[in-house]
Amino acid sequence: MNDSKQLFKPFQLGSLNLPSRIVMAPMTRGFSPGGIPNAQVVEYYRKRAAAGVGLIITEGTTVNHCAANGYPNVPRFYGDAALKGWKQVVDAVHAAGGKIMPQLWHVGNVRRLGTEPDPSVPGYGPMEKFKDGKKIVHGMTQDDINDVVAAFAQAAKDAQNIGMDGVEIHGAHGYLIDQFFWEGSNQRSDNYGGNMANRGRFAVEIITAVRAAVGPDFPIVFRFSQWKQQDYSARLAHTAAELEAFLQPLVAAGVDIFHCSTRRFWEPEFADSDLNLAGWTRQLTGKPTITVGSVGLDGSEFTSFMTNTSEVAQPASLESLLTRFAAQEFDLVAVGRALLVDPEWAAKVRDGREDEILPFSRNALGSLS
């Protein structure tokens, strides 16, 4: 049997020193009215740090752009009130022995008219879209691109200023950065469209600007996925060679760690190897990677947030995960739903109390703390 205590060995990368290899995956909750983290949010993160989570990556926090937000009560990462709220989160997590980074987010064309903070603002994306004669997505100009790049850089600098331990840039799941990556949503004819290098240019400019804003030693995590919200079978890279071509410009721009989002961590990414996406990314880039995708849950057919509230995902064995970790397929393990519903998940794993881990169900989400 593999020893779960290997997940509680320290991890160090430059200025980032983590007490364990367990990462709290970013999960949108909508518990921040007005976009401002409150005392409940502070306690939510503090509990998980106190129970042994080494690194917390916050729920998606919107950068300072008119179309960044797509959902009600999502926290923002700009403005004095929101940053003051996040500073309280940072201090609480540090006092509990953990580290924390904000996930910096722009939803892009997922945004719909009527969404806060300004309901008149449509989604922004690589391509303009109309429905029933009304513009529902604004196709981004060069000035728009420059504004968003600057917003990410400023958010990263603000994170550094309030004591965050790094930042994660959200480039996954069909949101704005990923919309530029994916050929299905980016058919531009300028320098941001066409081949893979051009489709990755927007992300490279964001990472480059963030690195310039925070200096050489502040950790930058980049989250990406093959799958999209609208297409679970989508692929940015169909082969390891294509994946390497996609990743190398991001490495050159300044990414320190890749957060490789998959729906099920145990599934191989390409047919000729058992390596998952994090394993391939680590091998191709030499950078540390975070694996994620249904860790600790037995429910491989569930969607990311189940629509049937009667369904329950029971806790699952970590044997396969630990085998892959021991083989150095990846460096860190992000836990999502299992940790969302059970703030003591890490402590229970560490202390051999797996039989006490709570099952996940959508019904449990309304009372999360």
Cα gap 56→303, rounded to integer Å: 23
Cα gap 210→220, rounded to integer Å: 8
- Residue 312's beta-bridge partner residues? 361
Going 345 to 324 to 257 to 75, the CA torsion angle's sign is negative
Write down the catalytic residue from 44, 78, 124, 175. 175
Contact assessment for residue 291 and residue 335, using Cβ atoms and an 8 Å cutoff = no
Cα gap 151→39, rounded to integer Å: 26
Cα gap 351→118, rounded to integer Å: 48
Residue of 189, 285, 191, 294 whose CA lies nearest to 237 = 285
Cα gap 295→360, rounded to integer Å: 12
Q: Is 124 a catalytic residue?
A: no
Contact assessment for residue 207 and residue 250, using Cβ atoms and an 8 Å cutoff = yes
Residues recognised as catalytic? 175
